[in-house]
Amino acid sequence: MNAVVPLIVVAAASAALFWLLPPPLLLRPGRRFPALVPIIVALGAGAVLIVLELVHLQVVIERRNWPSVDGVVVKSEVVGERAPHPLIVFEYTLDGVKHVGNTDLHAPGFGLRTSREEVAYAIVNALPVGAEVKVFYNPSDSTEALLKPGPTWNVLVRLSLGLMLYFIGIYALLTVLLLAGKDTDGTTPDSTASKSETETT
């Protein structure tokens, strides 16, 4: 149900913008018709990213309300030769049952290899084997757990990209609308000049 709200908002905004398009702009094979294609692509891609990432962001934020329990790190190392990243394995006990989880603590997967390696080793050094950690677990599924609840960098990057594409599409669409209005009012400078020349002759 929560996913429907952002979908309705984005869909309504898109529909309102396209409703403003004058019929001649959509029907005539003029020079500006091809310009609508990238605009529609930008609006559509931006809308999809916004909806998906808002839903994902809401799920991630809700994880902050998960209950927590004390745990301990049992393995901490940097793995991956081409794409080095930290691997933190931890244990936690719930109702007498021991569980094992692992995480990379959302280490960025972009940038130079050396920078990613530095970040990975910094995380591993901060969480050595035997370090006590707070483990957040899913109350509906105790086998699902994490050490760092909250929004991650990849969610925020994709949401920012979606917003950028959508607003670029809106700006381009409004620009096309303004140009179409100048063409349809029949008062362009060329038409006015030709009309005055006809009257003088």
Q: Is 83 left (phi over 0), alpha (psi -120 to 50) or beta?
A: beta
Each of the 201 residues of the chain gets a pLDDT tens digit; together they read: 344 455 555 555 555 555 555 444 444 444 445 567 777 777 888 888 888 888 877 877 888 889 999 999 999 999 988 888 899 999 999 989 999 999 988 777 666 778 888 989 999 999 999 999 999 999 999 899 999 887 777 777 788 888 888 888 888 777 777 776 665 555 544 554 454 455 555
Rounded (10°) CA dihedral 46, 51, 52, 54: 110
Cβ(162)–Cβ(10) under 8 Å? no
CA–CA distances in Å: residue 119 to residues 56, 90, 201: 25, 19, 79
Return the bridge partners of 76, or none: 88
Q: Distance (Å, rounded) from C-alpha 120 to C-alpha 104?
A: 8
